[in-house]
Amino acid sequence: MKALVATGEVGEPVRFAEVAQPQPGPGEVLVKVEAFSVNRGETFQLEAPQPGWRPGKDVAGLVVQAAADGAGPAVCRRVVAHPPAGGWAEYVCVPVGSVAELPDGLDAVRAAALPLAGLTALRLLRAVGAVAGRRVLMTGASGGVGHYFTELAAAAGAELTVVTASPERGRRLVELGAAEVVHDLGEARGPYDVVLESTGGANLPVALARLARRGTLVWFGQASRTPVTLDFFDFFKGPESATLRHFHYADSDVPYGTDLATLVRLAAAGRLTPEIGRTAPWADTAATLTDLRDRRIRGKAVLTLV
């Protein structure tokens, strides 16, 4: 079968290759991929790829071989899936616990934009707990996670301030429910009950200073790729009894498939909007990855095989 493999080259991070079609193991289904989305974090992984690794964690397509034990979706069911790797290919094996069936009204392009960003946003909201009436600040809100979280948190009653460098992207976040947009973290007035920080570098100490008494800062990303220096004496002088917490979307007792089903239900009902900045044939994957890394794409980028 045809698949995209990592090259380790900056100008052309992936290329097509012929690889063996995967064979599903116990508890896995074989999916014929119709569309996949790419994530900015994957562009960083492609800079120094591990031997034998093939990229691809967000896919939508058709089940062509069901799990041997009968668990999960049957053959010919349309699904969205979150495999551990290898999804930028004609076929991919996925554990049944990482798959959700799609209704007729949700196409493969929108579905493929859901997994990583949607799972992160949904699980961030779960991690911070009830947000109704609480002041929430989110940095780095221009990407897929920011769009999904804005829509989910606003629907849950949060008073959300988002940080984005682009006025255009800020306007869209207001449409999705953000109460306020700032273009520099220093402009955020605070104090905030919850701060969600995804950029790292110099921003994390600034964000921490915006916390209210007994507030919580959740650190869930390092988009700047710059180390953080944190003076804990400043922390002690700041918000009393505040909490600093690290978050990773994979650290959950809930199977991916269960949360994917929630995202599918919300998207099908029009309560969650995949923000897709580019749809292109998968022959354009290398160029799309470069544009995504350099922030020339707003929201999600989806590549199609059909």
Q: In terms of C-beta density within 10 A (0-12 exposed, 13-18 middle, 19 or more buried), how is residue 255 classed?
A: middle
Confidence check: pLDDT of 201 > 90: no
Q: Is the pLDDT confidence value at 241 over 90?
A: no
Mean pLDDT on 113-142: 96
Instruction: State the average pLDDT for the chain.
Output: 93
Query: Helices 115-128 and 144-155: crossing angle, nearest 10°?
Result: 40
Would you give the DSSP letter of residue 115? H
Q: Is the pLDDT of residue 244 over 80?
A: yes
Tell me: pLDDT of 224 over 80: no
Give yes or no for a contact between 278 and 297, defined as CB atoms under 8 angstroms apart.
yes
Q: Alpha carbon of 43 to those of 10, 14, 27, 289, 290: distances in Å?
A: 9, 10, 30, 6, 8
Tally of helices (H runs) and strands (E runs) in the chain: 9, 15
pLDDT at 199: 87
- Structure tokens of 93? 């094996």
pLDDT score at 136 = 98
- What architecture is the 2-113+274-304 domain classified under in CATH? Alpha-Beta Complex (3.90)
Q: 119-246, what's its fold? A: Rossmann fold (3.40.50)
Distance of CA 168 to the CA centre of its chain: 21
Could you tell me the sign of the dihedral formed by the alpha carbons of 189, 191, 192, 195, in that order? Answer: positive
In the prediction, which pLDDT does 295 show? 83
- pLDDT at 200 (0 to 100): 84
User: Which DSSP category does 74 fall into?
Assistant: P
84: closest CA among 116, 57, 46? 57
CA distance 211 to 139: 13
11 has a pLDDT exceeding 90: no
Highest mean pLDDT among 56-60, 140-144, 241-245, 293-297: 56-60
Note the pLDDT tens digit of each residue in 76-118.
999 999 999 999 999 999 999 999 999 999 999 999 999 999 9
User: Does position 63 have pLDDT exceeding 80, yes or no?
Assistant: yes
- Whether the CB-CB separation of 179 and 155 falls below 8 Å is answered with no
Annotated domain spans of the chain: 2-113+274-304, 119-246
- pLDDT for residue 242 is more than 80: yes
Counted residue by residue, the chain has a size of: 306
Give tens-digit pLDDT for 140-177: 998 899 999 999 999 999 999 999 988 888 999 999 99
d(CA 79, CA 217): 35
Kindly report the pTM of this predicted structure: 0.94
The one-letter code for the residue type at 129 is G
Each residue of 273-286: pLDDT tens digit?
999 999 999 999 99
Is residue 13 reached through a cis peptide bond, with omega within 30 degrees of 0 on the bond before it?
no
Question: Which DSSP letter does residue 112 get?
Answer: H
Q: Of the spans 74-83, 186-195, 209-218, which averages the highest pLDDT?
A: 74-83
Q: Residue 231's pLDDT band (boundaries 50, 70, 90)?
A: confident
Q: What is the mean pLDDT of residues 56-63?
A: 98
Note the pLDDT of residue 239. 82
Q: What's the confidence (pLDDT) of residue 266? A: 98
253 vs 166, which has greater pLDDT? 253
- Going by pLDDT thresholds of 50, 70 and 90, the confidence category of residue 127 is very high
